[in-house]
Homo-oligomer: A and B are copies of this chain.
Amino acid sequence: MADIKESIYRELVSITNGHVTREPEELCCYSYDATGRFFLPHAVVFPAVSHEVAEIVKIAAKEGIPLIPRGSGSGMTGGSLPVKGGIVIATSRMNRIIEIDDETLVARVEPGVITGNFHHAVEKKGLFYPPDPASSSFCTIGGNLGECAGGPRAVKYGVTRDYVLGLEAVLPSGNIINTGVKTAKGVAGYDLTRLIVGSEGTLAIVTQATLKLLPLPEAVKTMAALFPSIHKAASAVSSIIKDAVIPRCVEFLDRSSIACVRDRFGFHVPDDIEAILIIEVDGSCGVVEEDGKNLETFCVKKGANRVITAADKAEASTLWAARKALSSALFRMAPDKINEDIVVPINRIPEMVLRIERIQKRTGLPVVSFGHAGDGNIHCNIMYDKRYKDAQNLAESAVDELFEATLELGGTITGEHGVGITKMKYLPREIRENELKIMRGIKAVFDPGNILNPGKIF
């Protein structure tokens, strides 16, 4: 890897008032994400305002240096990895919540704001920002925008895309653009806002987002339904959604997931339980009480052995902490995992569960499934030990079969993690050449020099 030119480094120092580094031990900290892959950048800059981002981009454009926007590096598909070296633009200093307007229910934030901090800030004002990826305590709004993050509450409330009204962003030319509106509605011109959201940092660097908020629901009720059969749990999911009430979350944990966090739920989970559904409803106090009771009866009717309702916020938090600990707790089972976030139509979940069992049987590898069953989004974790070549090959063939089954059932290979680098080779199975050609054309319109997060998506 060639170093960055001294003259360029000096320019970066001058633009950011010294907030730049090329020290190898510091570069290391910006070389990985949740995929466990590792690519060293040439430098990391920490701009404080959009103007500085624009100046950095102009230099990189002139020199043809790759630029990689990065939030907390919690991505699951390598979106923030400097696969071709270059300059990482860390957004950690652009972390201001500029405004939370409780009259218009609109907020303006910088990309480096931690999602969880934003949740707390709006909730203090009696407002609500629904997108809640499992990593919310450390991921950033910028990263959420890049991947169009979802989370458990997407069942009822939708994903990041649905809460973005407008963006300020820096184009690969260094020009600053403003997209969208500050109002609830707006259709002037093409929808650049939602084109940039989910583009995985390949079209523009977001420097500010105008987000839509909702009033905070008066009450929330969280419950766990314990099923002795994974198939009964899977078929319960699609029946719940068909019902007139849409819960805000329907999370699913299979037997292996339960095993990984068994001691953390805050209640005893008998050994014969094959699946747990975590269901959450929200709304006014009366509604939540009624919906909660109906769902309890419903789950028992659908085969649940027991439904445990969290008595208070603390119990609900314990339950969610167990769910959120899952992703890392899986490493108890094997040192490596391939984590895929497939989505199938909810009425195909029972079939998908069968297909996953078949993959486990064929490969002999544990495939742990959990996730946002309420919208058909299942996180399938193929556990293996990559020191063994055979296991690596088997794991890859498992992914192959998993995606094949997903697409066959009318699904998509990624519900919220994005394509990044890990799903690049599978993308053409879902999206055909005519569509990819248009996408590449759009990329070239924004970024003719291909300097922005190169080597991603396609």
Contact = CB atoms under 8 A, between A and B. Distances in A.
Main secondary structure of the interface of A (DSSP, over half): loop
A411 B198 CA distance: 25
Given A195-B191, A432-B178, A410 B376 contact: no
A372 B346 CA distance: 34
A215 B243 CA distance: 7
A179 B216 CA distance: 34
B246 A415 contact: no
Contacts of A177: 432, 434-435, 438
Contacts of A35: none
A187 B287 contact: no
Interface in A165-215: 171, 175-179, 181-192, 194-195, 197-199, 203, 214-215
A10 to B, nearest CB: 28
A326 to B, nearest CB: 19
B376 A415 contact: no
A188 B413 contact: yes
Given A287-B287, A347-B104, A191 B187 contact: no
Contacts of A418: 187
A228 interface: no
Contacts of A101: 345, 347
Contacts of A377: 183-185
A43 interface: no
A252 to B, nearest CB: 14
A439 B189 contact: yes
Contacts of A148: 187, 191
A13 interface: no
Contact of A246 (B102, B154, B215, B243): B215
Interface in A287-344: 287, 290, 343-344
A439 B185 contact: no
A150 B185 contact: yes
Interface in A385-439: 410-419, 423, 427, 430-432, 434-436, 438-439
A361 interface: no
A179 B194 CA distance: 14
A192 B343 contact: no
Contacts of A346: 103-104, 184
A195 B195 contact: yes
9 closest Cβ pairs, A-B complex? A441-B445, A184-B375, A185-B415, A186-B412, A103-B347, A194-B194, A183-B343, A104-B345, A175-B434
Given A102-B242, A215-B242, 17 more contacts: A103-B238, A103-B242, A154-B184, A183-B415, A184-B343, A184-B377, A185-B415, A188-B413, A188-B419, A189-B419, A189-B435, A190-B457, A191-B197, A192-B435, A194-B194, A245-B284, A286-B286
